[in-house]
Amino acid sequence: MVQSPSVKQVRIDSGFWGVYRGLVREVVLPYQYEALNDRVEGADKSYAIHNLKAAAGLIPPEQKGPVFQDSDLGKWLEAVGYALQDKPNPQLEAWADELIGIMEKAQQPDGYLNSFYILRGLDQRFTNLIDCHELYCLGHLIEGAISYWQATGKTKVLDIMRRYADLVDRLMGPGEGQLRGYPGHEEIELALVKLYRVTGERRYLDLAEYFILERGKSPSFFIQEWEKRGRTRHFDTHDTRVPELSYFQAHEPVTGMSEAVGHAVRAVYLYSGMADIAAETGNEELRAACLRLFDNISQKQMYITGGIGQTHHGEAFTFGYDLPNDTVYAETCAAIGLVFFCRRMFNLERDAKYIDVMERALYNGVIAGMALDGRRYFYVNPLENWPEASEKNPGRNHVRPVRQPWFGCSCCPPNLARLVSGLGEYLYSYGENSIYVHLYTGSRAEFDLSCGKVTIEQSTKYPWDGAVKLTVRGAGRYTLALRVPGWCRQAALTVNGQAAEPTAVKGYILLNRDWAGQTEILLTLDMPVAVMQASPLVRADAGKVAVQRGPLVYCAEEADNGSDLAALSLPPGAGFALGKAAGLPEEAVALRVSGHRETPGDGLYYPASFEKKPAEITFVPYYLWGNRGPDKSAGGEMAVWLNRDRD
Amino acid sequence: MVQSPSVKQVRIDSGFWGVYRGLVREVVLPYQYEALNDRVEGADKSYAIHNLKAAAGLIPPEQKGPVFQDSDLGKWLEAVGYALQDKPNPQLEAWADELIGIMEKAQQPDGYLNSFYILRGLDQRFTNLIDCHELYCLGHLIEGAISYWQATGKTKVLDIMRRYADLVDRLMGPGEGQLRGYPGHEEIELALVKLYRVTGERRYLDLAEYFILERGKSPSFFIQEWEKRGRTRHFDTHDTRVPELSYFQAHEPVTGMSEAVGHAVRAVYLYSGMADIAAETGNEELRAACLRLFDNISQKQMYITGGIGQTHHGEAFTFGYDLPNDTVYAETCAAIGLVFFCRRMFNLERDAKYIDVMERALYNGVIAGMALDGRRYFYVNPLENWPEASEKNPGRNHVRPVRQPWFGCSCCPPNLARLVSGLGEYLYSYGENSIYVHLYTGSRAEFDLSCGKVTIEQSTKYPWDGAVKLTVRGAGRYTLALRVPGWCRQAALTVNGQAAEPTAVKGYILLNRDWAGQTEILLTLDMPVAVMQASPLVRADAGKVAVQRGPLVYCAEEADNGSDLAALSLPPGAGFALGKAAGLPEEAVALRVSGHRETPGDGLYYPASFEKKPAEITFVPYYLWGNRGPDKSAGGEMAVWLNRDRD
């Protein structure tokens, strides 16, 4: 069994992710605090802090916006906590303390703390678990509290949230007089496992386990609750239909699940919780279900960007090999949830296939969600952007062609902030005598192994270059496991200047030796441009190719290639030239290749001739798309999959 | 100026369309009368006759089903009339008389005849023209009445409908005290022009012209009506938004229109009416708008099957080159409306390009709507059928993978019946001294030209074979114009055994001569298999090919090719063999070709190899798809567009 390090253990302060973490600390978190306070002009209103203040009696008691706005505060606080674990930031800390002060005032005598029900009627609390996100909000606030407490040592917010968690623990469960419910939007399970880990209080783990294992049992709690409520729903008061349980992953007990279904974010949060419980309790049935669900997602229901969720109807999974690039959902939060799931699965299984998917999601589907300036966000991350279709085809209206300053339902932006801010947890896993290096990025990490303290310093231009220098300090016998990413066909390794065998087992080169003093390791991952295809069972991509280099999936943008990207085609065996793309960061590698552009013939349909002329095609990293143009958010076409040429 | 012949003038009694017309007369119309009477087990209920009987006081006054059910009775009656113009059918006539008897009883003293408002409150009539289809239903009933009167000489139903038309003529129009409205669903315009033509009463033409030219003027009648009604809508009583005028083609005056927008059936009915008024009144602005709208549809918004309407949201057009094959709508009624529009445009312009589109729609998008047994129907005609997606991807739920016995909103089945039953009108156009032959099918036609009577007998296996024998009788100097379809690259012609010049002008070989006695013409249209492509601006089809032979578009079905059709690919220059397909009509030509099937690699995404093995691919005519399987309606995959091979 291995575990993930804390953010305190792993300082990411340079390189690719160092830049991102700096952006989050310096720009994103202040910007988001403004947004949460409804002070960003032209942006959708959050009402998150408004509602909390109203619940605290600081302003008139009016609830605004969706039911789940408290959760954004939890995510923001969690991100702030991770940022403060690196180094002090008085401004962020002052804002966080201000927020915590309001939370304290809003908390009810029995510990309850949810602005929606405090403002709309406490008598209704816990009567609509399926829709009203109470436990989801609680989960996020717990995670925020833990992070902030770990960063600052201030216990106030942790105490607040424990009081609320304790209330839920008293009220819910299988015991007599308890409400035998579970959350409509999973998340609290992850928070409770964390709370157990930092407090050592077993009842938090038990409650998480209860929520997981109770879920989907017959007769359905959600149906019973709905009957009791008079068959009403929160989001559509005219809807009198029986709730669709699969949307909530509550259609069957979790141990029987094999296929990822329903709301994609809910799903991967649940699966992450299942992996946590499997790790903590050794539940083999849960573990087996996790293995099946991961394989189902990664082998049948995941975009090449690591995006998940194929339809905006319910922001949901559909079924295997149905991966439309145009009507896609691929919510940023869902890719983030997949990252959560992958890390937990690695710690359970110690197989690089989980980190391969995690890396794919991180570098593509996740960070595409935020503009380079940190102030605009995608909710849906399409693999094909056609602005006219977003405007004129109602089935594609949900795909915004440019990033937005905020959303009425703005789950993604603070989720991205907390993931990037807390990314240290994802670079490594470690056990008593082993350290697994998952991600390569400028960083300094510290581990207490049974043989003593080990530090690892990474220096690399990854993902732009495949050379990684690791400086290892710490004596003793332990295994250092270096990941050779799935995309890498050839790796080279030197240890203190001596060539070493780069053979990987389950994706890791295992250096098991007696370490002494300082060891310099140079890992070189061959990083050619790869022209990728999808399984022919993926209809949307049949006959098409995508370009990838290292972990980065590339795309063609109108900014470089003109419009009508579907007319472009890429010949087999094309040679790519590495270069820069105007208007993108200096270090970003663009790719250029000689391809073709088909010439429209006469009319709409005609005998096949596929007349074409040579065209240079420029590819830029997918995560950077939509960052150029007059106002730095200009839309324009984008495509990940292009046609391949016949010749 | 040329005109279309009546159904009486053109008897289609053999060949491809003879079989279809026989099916409609013998099977479809009796079946549909059962359906309209709610007597088909397992089918959605119509309530059309129920409602009319209730309005007539024959059963308790309860209105059921949608607001527009009267229209289905008009369509059915029109189809019956066309059938009876060929030869007597006492059963059909008895049913029609029964229906007319109920109509007579339901008609109100002032002429009003709409079952919905008679049952739901006459005080509300004409208060919701935008939604409630009163004028649409009236239009269909007028068309039915004319057809039945022409067939039988019985004036009762024509009198009934004229009384109602006269009421509307009194109530609506630009005059003082009149309601300055127009229909929410266009159709009555076509009916009024017909009524003018058969009665000679100019006021019917004037009313049609008023409806056309008033449409879309500012301030909007529909908005004013909506305000007056208290801002309520019929179909969604919770909807308080301002009506979207473009859905109704009421966003601008029709003479300014250039782009087909909104509900596709409504649109092409309107454009047909515009062409009628342009023909009758010489309005050049209307004509110019028709030319623009036809070009917009046929050059930018039409499927290769002649289907139109790219989205199920509003059953509507989207925009140019947006032609998704999967989320497609392509309602049967819309293809039928396009046929209407094309015929009128030809008569206005005498250019075969209109008939090329008409033929494309007829042989593909229209008749695909009905099963070979005449008892099952498609509403949506997809170009790609993936049954699992129809079930599991909500964005594709609207695409039914098998034909249905009836629909709650069952506009398409009786529309198909009336078009096929009245197809005689579409085979020819004629003027004083000219006859244009548009469609080739076994038939006998009679024309009164200024020089006297001319008859034409056609004998052909078209569309299975390109040889057409025409026997022309009738002396005098006139022009016989033989269409060379747009798909035909080479035609041969003999006149009384002598080779003649097959040069076509605007798509017609013009035989202008002094005719005497009997002339035997043999037209041979070269009909090779054509591998077609779409303009590269059509993203959904980029890199793909479709197969066409003569006017028939082909498709690959799971029944012949197994599942996962997207894995199939067609090499360039492939040679096709003509053959038969098991389970399809004896005369139907299937096509076989050596292609490839791609072999799935390891995982979902991998370096492009496109490994494949040889595979024989069978294509069957698109209109025949979904006719095989255990219960003759078995679903299964279908694809019109396949990938082309690289080599």
Which tens digit of pLDDT belongs to each residue from A40-93?
999 999 999 999 999 999 999 999 999 999 999 999 999 999 999 988 999 999
Residue A505 neighbours by CB distance under 10 Å: 12
Q: What pLDDT score does A581 carry?
A: 85
What residues contact A592, with CB distance under 8 A and at least 6 apart?
A576, A577, A579, A616, A617, A618, A619
What residues contact A126, with CB distance under 8 A and at least 6 apart?
A134, A171, A172, A179, A181
Q: What pLDDT score does A634 carry?
A: 60
Interface of A with B in 7-36 (CB under 8 A): none
Q: What pLDDT score does B237 carry?
A: 85
Q: What's the gap in Å between the CA of B624 and the closest CA on chain A?
A: 21
Phi/psi for B68 (5° steps) reads: -110, 20
A186 is catalytic: no
In chain A the first and final C-alpha atoms are separated, in Å, by: 51
Least confident of A223-227, A236-240, B58-62, B558-562: A236-240
Q: Residue B645: pLDDT band by 50, 70, 90 thresholds?
A: confident
What does the pLDDT average to over A105-129?
98
For the record, the structure tokens of A625 come out as 């798309």
Better pLDDT: A633 or B525: B525
Q: What pLDDT score does B573 carry?
A: 86
Q: What pLDDT score does B238 carry?
A: 86
Answer yes or no: do B538 and A304 touch at CB < 8 A. Answer: no
Q: Is the CB of residue A109 less than 8 Å from the CB of residue A160?
A: no
Answer yes or no: do B327 and A535 touch at CB < 8 A. Answer: no
Average pLDDT, chain A: 96
Query: Above 90 in pLDDT, residue A635?
Result: no
Q: What pLDDT score does A1 carry?
A: 81
Going from the C-alpha of B16 to that of each of A621, B12, B244, B441, B524, the distances in angstroms are 56, 9, 42, 6, 17
Which residues of chain B lie closer than 8 angstroms to A312, CB-CB?
A: 395
What does the pLDDT average to over B96-120?
98
Query: Above 90 in pLDDT, residue B647?
Result: no
Quote the CA–CA distance of A19 and B642 in Å, as a whole number.
Answer: 45
Query: Above 90 in pLDDT, residue B367?
Result: yes
Query: Above 60 in pLDDT, residue B632?
Result: no
Percentage of residues of chain A with pLDDT beyond 70: 99
In A435-494, alpha helices (H): none
Quote the CA–CA distance of B209 and B205 in Å, as a whole number.
Answer: 6
What residues contact B450, with CB distance under 8 A and at least 6 apart?
B432, B433
Q: What is the 3-state secondary structure (H, E, C) of A276-299?
A: HHHHHHCCHHHHHHHHHHHHHHHH
Answer yes or no: do B598 and A542 touch at CB < 8 A. Answer: yes
What does the pLDDT average to over A624-642?
82
**Chain centroid, CA A392 distance in Å:** 30
Q: Residue B635: pLDDT band by 50, 70, 90 thresholds?
A: low
DSSP A508-548: EEEEEEEE-SEEEEEEEE---EEEEEE-TT-GGGTTEEEEE
Quote the CA–CA distance of B299 and B321 in Å, as a whole number.
Answer: 9
Percentage of residues of chain B with pLDDT beyond 70: 99
Q: Which of B290, B411, B412, B488 is catalytic?
A: B411
Query: Above 80 in pLDDT, residue A633?
Result: no
**Chain centroid, CA A349 distance in Å:** 20
Average pLDDT, chain B: 96
Query: Above 70 in pLDDT, residue A405?
Result: yes
DSSP B380-394: B--SEE-HHHHHH-G
Query: Above 80 in pLDDT, residue B481?
Result: yes
3-state percent breakdown (helix, strand, coil) of chain B, nearest 5: 40, 20, 40
The 10s digit of each residue's pLDDT in A167-204 is 999 999 999 999 999 999 999 999 999 999 999 999 99
For A317, nearest residue in chain B (alpha carbons):
B393
Answer yes or no: do A605 and B324 touch at CB < 8 A. Answer: no
For the record, the structure tokens of A534 come out as 């999808």
Phi/psi for A524 (5° steps) reads: -120, 115
Q: Is the CB of residue B560 less than 8 Å from the CB of residue B581?
A: yes
Better pLDDT: B67 or B634: B67
**Secondary structure element (H or E) that encloses residue B594, with its range:** strand B590-598
Tracing tokens 């063609």 back to the chain, one arrives at: A556
The 10s digit of each residue's pLDDT in B204-257 is 999 999 999 999 999 999 999 999 999 999 998 888 999 999 999 999 999 999
Q: Is the CB of residue B296 less than 8 Å from the CB of residue B320?
A: yes
Amino acid sitting at position B325: N
Amino acid sitting at position B93: E
- Is some CB atom of chain B closer than 8 A to the CB atom of A236? no
Interface of B with A in 567-586 (CB under 8 A): 567, 569, 572
Interface of B with A in 119-138 (CB under 8 A): none
Which ipTM was obtained for this model?
A: 0.95
Out of A536, A607, A643, whose CB is closest to B531? A607
The 10s digit of each residue's pLDDT in A408-438 is 999 999 999 999 999 999 999 999 999 999 9
Answer yes or no: do A389 and B537 touch at CB < 8 A. Answer: no
Helix (H, G, I), strand (E, B) or coil at A475: coil
Quote the CA–CA distance of A104 and A88 in Å, as a whole number.
Answer: 23
Which burial class, exposed, middle or buried, applies to B260 when counting CB atoms under 10 A from its CB (0-12, 13-18, 19+)? buried
Quote the CA–CA distance of A510 and A518 in Å, as a whole number.
Answer: 18
Q: What pLDDT score does A631 carry?
A: 57
Q: What's the gap in Å between the CA of B637 and the closest CA on chain A?
A: 12
For the record, the structure tokens of A112 come out as 């309850």
What residues contact B136, with CB distance under 8 A and at least 6 apart?
B68, B71, B183, B184, B185, B186, B187, B188
Phi/psi for B374 (5° steps) reads: 75, 5
Answer yes or no: do A395 and B395 touch at CB < 8 A. Answer: yes
Residue B218 neighbours by CB distance under 10 Å: 9
Interface of B with A in 598-627 (CB under 8 A): 598-601, 603-610
Q: What pLDDT score does A629 carry?
A: 73
What does the pLDDT average to over A475-484?
97
What residues contact A230, with CB distance under 8 A and at least 6 apart?
none
A411 is catalytic: yes
What does the pLDDT average to over B12-32?
96
Q: Taking Cα atoms as reference points, which of A300, A317, A299 lies closest to residue A308?
A: A317
* CA angle, A618 then A621 then A626, to 5°: 90
Q: What pLDDT score does B574 carry?
A: 84
What residues contact A245, with CB distance under 8 A and at least 6 apart?
A216, A220, A222, A223, A251
Q: Residue A605: pLDDT band by 50, 70, 90 thresholds?
A: very high
Domains of chain B, earliest start first: 46-222 (no CATH), 428-525 (2.60.420.10), 530-644 (no CATH)
Q: Taking Cα atoms as reference points, which of A530, A551, A527 lies closest to residue A438?
A: A551
Q: Residue A238: pLDDT band by 50, 70, 90 thresholds?
A: confident
Out of B314, B393, B604, whose CB is closest to A318? B393
What does the pLDDT average to over A604-632?
91
Could you say which DSSP state residue B172 is in? B
The 10s digit of each residue's pLDDT in B274-311 is 999 999 999 999 999 999 999 999 999 999 999 999 99
What does the pLDDT average to over A373-378?
95
